């Protein structure tokens, strides 16, 4: 993204069925509508944690009112009608690497494969059926 573009708030929307969202401040208190805070996610699709990473799991999940919540690290605002709005990227509470259906946190990202002939070439391009 060119640095000339302004940082803008982007509407995220409402949670899908079976999902609850909560916005909390730095002390873990629920934010009033319009206040900025961290997005917490709970619901039927919530993972039990990071496979084989108990420390990462403990840091990323919280127990609140008898429910398990994922601490997303995303800074958001919730309007009075419940619609969430993102905050500029520089306002995240952590340093994740995100891609569709995948997420990793620094410094847990594995190094790029070194067995490809060109570092910029995807490893899958050398697979043959």
pLDDT in tens, 68-92: 999 999 999 999 998 998 876 544 4
- What's the pTM? 0.63
CA dist 57 and 47 (Å) reads 10
Residues 61-72: tens digit of each pLDDT: 999 989 999 999
CA dist 68 and 20 (Å) reads 11
Binned at pLDDT 50, 70 and 90, residue 93 comes out as low
CA dist 102 and 99 (Å) reads 5
Q: Is the pLDDT of residue 111 over 90?
A: no
Structure tokens belonging to residue 33: 């509508």
Find the mean pLDDT for residues 17-44.
94
- Yes or no: say if 86 and 95 are a contact pair by the CB < 8 Å rule: no
């Amino acid at each position: 993204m060119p640095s000339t573009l302004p940082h803008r708030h982007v509407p995220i929307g409402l949670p899908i069925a079976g999902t609850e969202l909560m916005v909390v401040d730095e002390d873990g208190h629920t934010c009033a509508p319009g206040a900025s805070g961290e997005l917490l996610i709970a619901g039927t699709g919530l993972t039990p944690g990071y496979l084989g990473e108990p420390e990462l799991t403990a840091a990323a999940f919280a127990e609140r009112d008898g429910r398990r919540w994922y601490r997303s690290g995303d800074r958001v605002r919730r309007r009075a009608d419940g619609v969430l709005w993102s905050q500029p990227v520089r306002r995240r509470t952590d340093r994740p690497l995100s891609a569709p259906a995948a997420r990793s946190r620094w410094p847990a990202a594995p190094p790029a494969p070194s067995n490809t002939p060109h570092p910029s070439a995807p490893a899958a391009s050398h697979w043959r059926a």
